[in-house]
């Protein structure tokens, strides 16, 4: 039996008793999933890694700001900031701060993005993938060249090397960062036993300095706005030509959907909604089949016949509906579920 040093069997038994009371919740989630998306072991592992990385990066940043900018010399805070372990994760988990829908949606998108990157590397080498943006660096248009460089810099922060997942604070949406900063600051106070003002000051400074415009997605969207006006760009809308981030940004711009929606579509069975999106924006049959084959991870095939039989007008109508206000769509879905008896 594994035992934590200093924790007696009585305390362990009490903790196990409390957690085992939720076994039916865990079993229900496993037996009766509410989505049609298969959460593979690899997806779950990537999600855990990404969530831990988010917590770890915020924790380290708060400790470092407290020490470097506000002169905090508390030994435990310094040790936590230098360890890179994510000490506050367990406290946050037990208090429920890691179970919010918005945070878990973001974690899923991060894990699926890693999965898509792995699929892409089965079709193109890492060296060729890193070189796809260099053509824009040589553009005679300085604005395009600058935007390409900004995207390359942002992507370099994402690159954690094969087999690892990195979460840079600059890439976090502001609402996700805001929701985690204060619980992590409170956890650091509890773990260290230090109740001085430096931790809260560091949290405030971290939030005040956050710039969503520096995120990979934002910089990809900026470059997408510029390059879509270049002659021939229609034929070049492809993850093997643009890389994943720029491809998703360009497809989002043309369809009116968000990048997160498109990432979700790639995880759905047969990527049906992604196929309809490509049909709606007028991608040719060969073009759409090539994109599908590059991004698919389940061995499914999209045939010319099945693609061509999709009614363009109906596909366009659905894409317009999906691109509408997400809160309104969520409210519609919940009310429809309530009336039909199906889970929301």
> Higher-confidence residue: 326 or 127?
127
Token pair for 89: 């994760």
> Higher-confidence residue: 299 or 54?
54
- Unique residue bearing structure tokens 């990048």: 259
Q: Is the pLDDT of residue 148 over 80?
A: yes
Mean pLDDT of 308-323: 95
% of the chain surpassing 90 pLDDT: 58
In degrees, rounded to 5, the angle at the alpha carbon of residue 29 between the alpha carbons of residues 26 and 33 is 165
Q: CB neighbours (10 Å) of residue 88?
A: 26
Closest to 171 (Cα-Cα) out of 209, 206, 215: 215
pTM for the predicted model, two decimal places: 0.85
Q: Is the pLDDT of residue 63 over 60?
A: yes
Q: CB neighbours (10 Å) of residue 154?
A: 21
Q: d(Cα 168, Cα 68) in Å, to the nearest integer?
A: 19
Q: CB neighbours (10 Å) of residue 32?
A: 8
Domain residue spans of the chain: 36-124+164-210, 256-331
* pLDDT digit string, tens, across residues 198-233: 999 999 999 999 988 888 899 999 999 998 877 555
Q: d(Cα 90, Cα 86) in Å, to the nearest integer?
A: 9
> Higher-confidence residue: 299 or 45?
45
* pLDDT digit string, tens, across residues 241-275: 999 999 999 999 999 999 999 999 999 999 999 99
In degrees, rounded to 5, the angle at the alpha carbon of residue 166 between the alpha carbons of residues 163 and 170 is 160
Token pair for 247: 């491809």
Task: Quickly list H helices, 98-236.
Answer: 101-120, 126-130, 134-137, 142-158, 174-192, 198-209, 216-227
């Amino acid at each position: 039996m594994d035992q934590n040093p200093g924790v007696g069997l009585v305390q362990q038994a009490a903790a196990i008793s409390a957690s085992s009371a939720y076994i039916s919740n865990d079993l229900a989630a496993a037996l009766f999933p509410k989505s049609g998306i298969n959460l593979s072991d690899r997806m779950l592992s990537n999600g855990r890694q990404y969530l831990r990385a988010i917590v770890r990066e915020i924790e380290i940043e708060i400790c470092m700001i407290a020490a470097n900018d506000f002169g905090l010399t508390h030994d435990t805070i310094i040790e936590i900031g230098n360890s890179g372990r994510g000490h506050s994760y367990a406290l946050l988990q037990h208090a429920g701060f890691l179970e919010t829908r918005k945070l878990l949606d973001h974690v899923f998108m991060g894990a699926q993005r890693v999965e898509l990157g792995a699929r892409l590397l089965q079709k193109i080498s890492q060296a060729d993938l890193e070189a796809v943006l260099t053509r824009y660096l040589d553009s005679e248009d300085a604005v395009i060249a600058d935007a390409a460089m900004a995207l390359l810099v942002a992507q370099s922060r994402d690159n954690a090397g094969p087999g690892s997942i990195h979460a840079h604070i600059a890439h976090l949406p502001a609402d996700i960062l805001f929701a985690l900063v204060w619980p992590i600051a409170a956890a650091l106070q509890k773990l260290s036993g230090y109740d001085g003002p430096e931790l809260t000051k560091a949290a405030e400074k971290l939030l005040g300095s956050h710039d969503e415009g520096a995120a990979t997605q934002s910089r990809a969207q900026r470059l997408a706005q510029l390059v879509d006006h270049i002659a021939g760009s229609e034929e070049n809308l492809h993850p093997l030509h643009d890389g994943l981030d720029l491809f998703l940004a360009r497809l989002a711009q043309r369809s009116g959907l968000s990048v997160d929606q498109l990432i979700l579509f790639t995880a759905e069975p047969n990527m049906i909604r992604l196929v309809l999106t490509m049909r709606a924006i007028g991608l040719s049959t060969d073009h759409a089949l090539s994109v599908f084959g590059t991004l698919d991870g389940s061995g499914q095939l999209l045939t010319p016949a099945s693609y061509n039989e999709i009614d363009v007008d109906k596909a366009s109508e659905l894409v317009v509906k999906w691109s509408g206000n997400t809160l309104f769509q969520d409210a519609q879905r919940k009310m429809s579920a309530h009336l039909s008896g199906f889970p929301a």
